[in-house]
Amino acid sequence: MITELLLKKKLEEYLSHSKETNTLYVTDLIRCPKKIKYEEEYKELAISQVYEPSTLLGDLVHAGLESFIKTNLNAEVEVENEKELQVSGKAYKIKGRADAIVNINDQKVVIEIKSARSDRGLPRLHHKMQLQIYLWLFEAKKGILTYITPDRITEYEVNDPLDESTIIRLIEDTITMRGVPRFDWECRYCIFSIICPSKKA
């Protein structure tokens, strides 16, 4: 009963997302550009990831900690925002959803929650970049990157938003599929590696 409900809700959530033309999510700017293309072309493979237990576990950790932060810090959770940038003569919308935003001493603080299988290499570069883009998107100067792993619960302050020129470069890399994959380790965890000519060993 619980399993069926969890999987059904997760699938409904995935299928409800539809991306507008010339729109990129913050997460698109920190992952392999080819994966974005393949998610559209090979929807069956993309949907299969919905049923990964590690994905569900991460979602449940997120939901639990968001609820805790909302109750104890009076935070807004799942906060959405968007900005528009001109890139190569076209307007692109950058959309993002922060896990939580809290006001501390009259300062807006963006909180990003991450669950991981291991605590090695924390904080991870792509997670830090994601929070830096959120700081730009929400016009905040302070962020907290919170990790929950089997070995450690910890947090890192991130106080340097990405500048607009860097974000434009990331958009250009994404739309031209320049620098694929964005990080060498991505291929090890990518469902599309079985068909991708750019796979790194």
What CATH number is associated with residue 99?
3.90.320.10
- pLDDT, residue 13, reads 83
- pLDDT, residue 126, reads 98
- pLDDT, residue 81, reads 98
Q: Residue 1 domain-assigned?
A: no
Q: Residue 172 domain-assigned?
A: yes
Q: Residue 50 domain-assigned?
A: yes
Q: How far is Cα 76 from Cα 111, in angstroms, rounded to an integer? A: 10
Number of domains in the chain: 1
Pair 180, 36: CB distance under 8 Å: no
- pLDDT, residue 50, reads 85
- pLDDT, residue 187, reads 97
Q: Residue 103 domain-assigned?
A: yes
- pLDDT, residue 55, reads 87
Q: Residue 10 domain-assigned?
A: no
Task: Give the amino acid at 26.
Answer: V
Which of 99, 96, 95 lies closest to 75, judged by CA? Answer: 99
Q: Could you tell me whether strands 23-25 and 90-104 are parallel, antiparallel, or unpaired per DSSP bridges?
A: parallel
- pLDDT, residue 193, reads 96
Tokens of 162: 């990405």
Structural domain range at position 37:
24-194
Q: Residue 19 domain-assigned?
A: no
Q: Residue 137 domain-assigned?
A: yes
Q: Residue 18 domain-assigned?
A: no
pLDDT in tens, the chain (201 residues): 888 888 888 888 888 877 888 999 999 999 999 999 999 999 999 988 888 888 889 999 999 999 999 999 999 999 999 999 999 999 999 999 999 999 999 999 999 999 999 999 999 999 999 999 999 999 999 999 999 999 999 999 999 999 999 999 999 999 999 989 999 999 999 999 999 999 997
Q: How far is Cα 97 from Cα 112, in angstroms, rounded to an integer? A: 10
Query: Residue 94: is it exposed, middle or buried by C-beta count within 10 angstroms (0-12/13-18/19+)?
Result: buried
